[in-house]
Amino acid sequence: MIVYPSESRPNDIYKLMIGSITPRPIALVSSVSEAGIFNLAPYSFFTGVSANPPAIGFSPLITQKDKTRDSRNNIEETKEFGVNIVSENLVDRMNVASSDVPPEVDEFPLSQLTPKRASIISCPLVKESRINMECRLIEIVEVSNKLLGGAFIIGEVVCFHIDDEVIDNFKIDPNKLDTVGRMGGSSYTRTRDRFELARPDIKKN
């Protein structure tokens, strides 16, 4: 089957994307509005972008209901956000944080997660996450203003908070971190079935 996006329905292409790009890591993004209202929402169009300086990116999409997301609005206002890593013990609460609620609703109490003070930025982090990243906005790359289009929000990580239990000499123990990934639809995957594969050692002439 060959699919040309230009001849397809956006929703079908969306299904192709979320079914193909798997598993996707989940950023539980914390932010605060200029008025001081906390916000929390998961984003799985999420990736690392650079390690020096450390930078991450995620994409809020435009939906039928939301032209812009609260997370994006807050980040545009304050230029800061937190990325909180989702371990399996947090999936239910992360899912509640994805509820479509008005901007004046703080998803922290709604999802029974606890705001934790950041070291450098002014927005809250998620206390229950084993890893938090304090981010300062670098750039919002506008990709499309159509339905299911979106933007790529890039932030520099100015501080990492890592639970001592999951780290040894800068190496994260994946068993202890126990992250989950997002698949297509409402399906998720665990990260416990892993294998090692060394990079090929091919000498260049």
Ligand X SMILES: Cc1cc2nc3c(=O)[nH]c(=O)nc-3n(C[C@H](O)[C@H](O)[C@H](O)COP(=O)(O)O)c2cc1C
90 touches ligand X by CB under 6 A? no
Q: Give whichever of 146 and 203 is closer to ligand X, judged by the CB atom.
A: 146
Options 70, 128, 134, 178; binder of ligand X; rule CB under 6 A: 70
113 touches ligand X by CB under 6 A? no
Options 25, 30, 44, 124; binder of ligand X; rule CB under 6 A: 44
Options 98, 137, 158, 181; binder of ligand X; rule CB under 6 A: 98
Options 69, 93, 136, 161; binder of ligand X; rule CB under 6 A: 69
Helix, coil or strand: residue 23: coil
Instruction: Mark out the alpha helices in the chain (DSSP H runs).
Output: 10-20, 70-78, 91-97, 107-110, 174-177
151 touches ligand X by CB under 6 A? no
Options 25, 43, 75, 130; binder of ligand X; rule CB under 6 A: 43
> What residues from 176 to 205 belong to the interface with ligand X (CB under 6 A)?
182
Residue 18 · residue 184 · CB < 8 Å: yes
Residue 33 · residue 123 · CB < 8 Å: no
Q: How far is the CB of 92 from ligand X (least distance, A)?
A: 11
CB under 8 Å to 204, separation ≥6 — which residues? none
What Å distances lie between residue 14 and 8, 83, 157, 160, 190, CA to CA? 10, 24, 29, 32, 23
Site residues (CB under 6 A) for ligand X? 26, 39, 41-45, 59-61, 69-71, 95, 98, 100, 182
